[in-house]
Homo-oligomer: A and B are copies of this chain.
Amino acid sequence: MKIKEVSEKFDIPADTLRYWEREGAIPPVTRNAAGYRDYDEEDLDWISFAKCMREAGVSIEYLIEYLTLFKQGDVTLQARKDLLHEQLATIAQRLDEIQHTYDLIKEKADHYEAYVEGYHGKLAN
């Protein structure tokens, strides 16, 4: 699968796919004879993983760290597990924050809905 197809499949710019690879957030992609990237199943799995993580706000640096461990093989299983749990905790916290903001805005929007005026002050606390 060439980069453009992957780009369309995942809705990620080709430049970004190259950038992730260059930075080491995903492993080097398989190449064809001409030196073109030819993504196989495993490459796509990594893209999928990276996309998910990025959408959840996980940094590139974090992905690099994970991949670095991954490349070192089974000896880093525990370290990778720890890294994932750490990330889980961060994401759970982010979820809470966003949920909280959602509720707040929902309430505020409902005030507007009810067409009551001057309701800014009520939002914050």
- Chain A positions within 8 Å of B, measured between CB atoms, are 41-42, 44-49, 52-53, 55-58, 70, 74, 77, 80-81, 84-85, 87-88, 91-92, 94-95, 97-102, 104-106, 108-109, 112-113, 115, 117-118, 120-121, 123-125
Contact = CB atoms under 8 A, between A and B. Distances in A.
B108 A84 contact: yes
A45 B119 CA distance: 12
B52 A113 contact: no
25 contacts: A41-B121, A45-B124, A47-B124, A48-B123, A48-B125, A49-B120, A52-B104, A55-B97, A55-B101, A56-B98, A57-B57, A57-B98, A77-B112, A77-B115, A81-B112, A81-B113, A84-B108, A84-B109, A84-B112, A85-B109, A88-B106, A88-B109, A91-B101, A91-B102, A98-B98
Given A52-B104, A84-B105, A91-B102, 12 more contacts: A44-B124, A45-B120, A45-B125, A48-B124, A48-B125, A52-B124, A55-B101, A58-B101, A70-B120, A81-B112, A94-B98, A95-B102
